[in-house]
Amino acid sequence: MTQDTTQELDSEVSSKADVKPELPENVRVRFCPSPTGTPHVGMVRTALFNWAEARHTKGTFVFRIEDTDAQRDSQESYDQILEALRWLGLTWDEGIDVGGPHGPYRQSERTEIYKDVAAKLLDAGFAYESFSTPEEIEARNAAAGRPKAFGYDGFDRNLSEEQKEAFRAEGRKPAIRIKMPDENISFNDLIRGEIEFKAGSVPDYVIVRPNGDPLYTLTNPVDDAMMDINVVLRGEDLLSSTPRQIVLYRYLMELGIAKQVPLFGHMPYVMGEGKKKLSKRDPESNLFLHRENGFIREGLLNYLAGLGWSISADRDVFTMEEMIENFDVRDVKANPAHFDLDKAIAINAEHIRMLEPDDFLRRSIPYLFKDGAVSAENWDELTDRERQILTDSVGLVQPRVRLLGEVSGMVASLLSEEEYIEPEADARKQLKDSAAEVLDMAVATMAEIPAEEFKAEHVHEVLTAELVEKAGIKPRLAFGPVRVAVSGRRVSPPLFESMEILGKDLSIARLAELRKHLD
- Per DSSP, the three-state class of 215 is coil
Inter-residue contact 12 to 195 (CB < 8 Å): yes
Burial class, 143, CB count within 10 angstroms (exposed 0-12 / middle 13-18 / buried 19+): exposed
Q: Which amino acid is at 435?
A: A
Q: CA-to-CA distance for 447 and 268, rounded, in angstroms? A: 64
Q: Length of the chain, please?
A: 519
Inter-residue contact 241 to 217 (CB < 8 Å): yes
Inter-residue contact 438 to 481 (CB < 8 Å): yes
| Known catalytic membership, residue 280 | yes
**Which run of H or E residues covers position 49?**
helix 41-57
Neighbour count for residue 322 (Cβ, 10 Å): 14
Inter-residue contact 128 to 118 (CB < 8 Å): no
User: Does 516 show up as a binding residue in the annotation?
Assistant: no
Q: CA-to-CA distance for 241 and 287, rounded, in angstroms? A: 27
Q: CA-to-CA distance for 47 and 56, rounded, in angstroms? A: 14
Q: CA-to-CA distance for 397 and 65, rounded, in angstroms? A: 41
Q: How far is CA 116 from the centre of its chain?
A: 36
Q: CA-to-CA distance for 78 and 35, rounded, in angstroms? A: 5
Catalytic annotation, pick one of 164, 179, 259, 280 = 280
DSSP per residue, 315-379: B----HHHHHHH--GGG--SS-EE--HHHHHHHHHHHHHHS-HHHHHHHHHHHHHHTTSSSSSSG
Annotated binding site for ATP: 280
User: Which residues contribute to the annotated binding site?
Assistant: 280
Q: Which residues carry out catalysis?
A: 280
